[in-house]
Amino acid sequence: MELAVKTLAGKAAGKATLDDAIFGIEEIRGDLLQRTVRWQLAKRQAGTHKTQTRGEVSVTTKKSIRQKGSGGARHGAKNAGIFKGGAVAHGPRVRSHAHSLPKKVRKLALAHALSSKVKSGDLIVLDAAAAKTPKTKELSAQFTKLGLNRALIIGGVTLDENFVKAASNIPNIDVLPVAGLNVYDVLRRDTLVVTKDALEGIQARFDGAAKAEA
């Protein structure tokens, strides 16, 4: 598969060859994408939410009312959940929300996410993601020519500092190195922009995973 390569100015810069096994999947499996996105978001959860148990609530342990004769229930200490200021029954505890997901599933889901952008016509191959000066106004004008409003830009192993600084002030534009490519960020933006260096990195990433499986 071949796609046209563009410059930041919107001009043609040749063509790039894409691997059909990564970018040419016809039947996109939504179940793989959902599982991987859920796995990513679960890993991000801090898991620091917590409520106090009866043993942690600081209240008097004196019996609130006498055992008999009040006409009401035989209550003990005030740290029970039914009282104001008492504990929370079965409340959240500090824990990790992360769960495991096989590497094969993650690899396949990334290929499906990339292929979905090609299939919908939302993949742009960029000659290079670099700027002479870190000026947001100039870069924003170039993005307008390319039709980028909500986009994820994947650069090479290292990113151009001026480009990153200029893009950081533009809403709904994310810039990541090729090592940071992931399913969630690909799907959450309308357009995926990859540089020629990023294409080589993506190919090497999948080739390395294939060798590891072998």
Express each pLDDT in 13-47 by its tens digit. Answer: 899 999 999 999 999 999 999 999 999 999 999 99
Q: Which of 7-11, 42-46, 193-197 has the lowest average pLDDT?
A: 7-11
Report pTM.
0.84
Under 8 Å between Cβ of 85 and 51 = no
**What is d(CA 86, CA 15) in angstroms, rounded to the nearest whole number?**
68
Distance in angstroms (rounded) separating the CA atoms of residues 36 and 184: 8
| CATH 3.40.1370.10 domain extents, the chain | 2-45+99-213
To the nearest 10°, the Cα dihedral for 12, 18, 24, 29? -100
Q: What sign results for the dihedral spanned by CA atoms 77, 83, 87, 91?
A: positive
- What is the third-level CATH fold of 2-45+99-213? Ribosomal Protein L4; Chain: A; (3.40.1370)
What is the pLDDT of the chain when averaged over all its residues? Answer: 93
What pLDDT does residue 174 have? 96
pLDDT digits over 92-124, tens only? Answer: 999 999 999 999 999 999 999 999 999 999 999
Sheet with 191-195, side-by-side order of all strands: 12-17, 2-6, 123-126, 191-195, 151-154, 173-176
- pLDDT over 70, % of the chain: 97
Q: Is it the case that residue 213 has pLDDT exceeding 70?
A: no
From CA 74, how far away is CA 125, in angstroms rounded?
A: 74
Three-state DSSP at 174 gives strand
